[in-house]
Amino acid sequence: MSTAPLPTSLSEVPAAAGAVLDDFFDITLPVTRAISPVVGQASEVVADFVRLGGKRVRPTFGYAGWLCGLSSPDRRPPIPEQLGSDALRVCAALELVQACALIHDDIIDHSDTRRGRRTVHRLFAAHHRDAGWSGDADDHGVAAAILAGDLALAWADDLLGGHTPARRPVTVAPSPLPAEVSAVWSAMRTEVLGGQYLDIVNEVSGDETVESAYRVMEFKTAAYTVARPLELGARMAGAPDELLDDLRSVGHDLGIAFQLRDDMLGVFGDPQVTGKPSGDDLAEGKRTGLLAIGLRRADEQDPAAARSLRAALGHRLGPGELARVRETLVDLGAAAEVERHVDDLLGTAVVRLEHAAIDEDIRAELIAMAGRIAHREA
């Protein structure tokens, strides 16, 4: 794995995590090529998806937890020198969990683009067509992308433990992770899959309650985006229980704010900035927090608007239809309510950080990052 210096600030984490992932792919991709050239090509798709996308939010929050734990006056000493590299490896592994979630999410949502490029299942379908293979190209694309997402999750576990499938002797044995770190990792995987299942059940069952939407946000997004990464990093550093409680609270609030911002961008965002078409959530009939709040307000204030919103669900909207949905959500006050909630969640997270027993440097960096993700444009 990478022997580059460990990050000393959060701004250095994306590049450092990327270097760990590059080293991992350098070792693992030859193994998949040895199985078969087509397996190697499919594995390259996964590696490229990870290399080329994202802001490395989850690894950065993971490393923030590590720095918070290190700075705590009550942490459990000592910290072996190797543990810093292990912590960065754990943080980088989060990006592979994210890859699995996004690849599968795009299949579920029938999405054509992600980050301004073709989604993985569309890319595999295109490969099928270009090769002139038999059968349905789209069916092949979905099947291949399911396996690609599974591979990303398997690789996440390999990287977490410092293991690779390489057929060569290991010169340096990976340090065993603290048992509580492995337990948090296991809980996180179950939570994100459970949250994803809740999401698709809410769609098909027509559950429009705000409570259900927030439960999905809590487990599908908040847990593995902010709360669990912070906890993983902090536990690696031997953080005390009081700090862990602070970081869980911060992670929950920022994770919900992150998803609410995602809901807003899904309807009001600029596709040139977000890399995805506006209105995808509506087309898939997703019961997002924004939509749940809009429907609740419409049922209370304007039954005609409620009918209009429900009629917009489940099919692709033209520019005029999308503009009307946006106008309705604004007129109902739903968009403003979401913005207020984002600000409230950000505010409570910042207050908790201001009182946490951590160094001023990581406190300032984490507060600044919290503001960026709550008010991001992509």
Amino acid letter, 85: S
Model confidence pLDDT, tens digit, residues 145-157: 999 999 999 999 9
pLDDT category at 280 given cuts 50, 70, 90 is confident
**Cα 316 from Cα 84, distance rounded (Å):** 48
Residue spans of the domains in the chain: they are: 1-52+81-174, 176-378
60-118, pLDDT tens digit by residue? 999 999 999 999 998 876 666 678 899 999 999 999 999 999 999 999 999 999 988 99
Residue indicated by tokens 């709550």: 374
User: Token pair 């911002």 is at which residue?
Assistant: 261
* The pLDDT value given to residue 316: 86
**DSSP assignment letter at 10:** G
Backbone phi, psi, residue 207, to 5°: -70, 110
Lowest mean pLDDT among 17-21, 121-125, 173-177: 173-177
* CATH top-level class of 176-378: mainly alpha
**Angstrom distances, CA of residue 113 to CA of 108, 216, 271, 282, 316:** 13, 23, 10, 16, 14
* pLDDT digit string, tens, across residues 48-67: 999 987 899 999 999 999 99
Mean pLDDT, range 311-317, rounded to an integer: 88
pTM reported for the whole predicted model: 0.93
Distances (CA, A) of 205 to 63, 109, 199, 290: 39, 16, 10, 18
Q: Express each pLDDT in 239-248 by its tens digit.
A: 999 999 999 9
pLDDT tens digits, one per residue of 167-189: 554 445 566 788 999 999 999 99
Mapped onto helix, strand or coil, the DSSP state of residue 168 is coil
Per-residue confidence (pLDDT) for residue 262, from 0 to 100: 94
The whole-number pLDDT of residue 177 equals 86
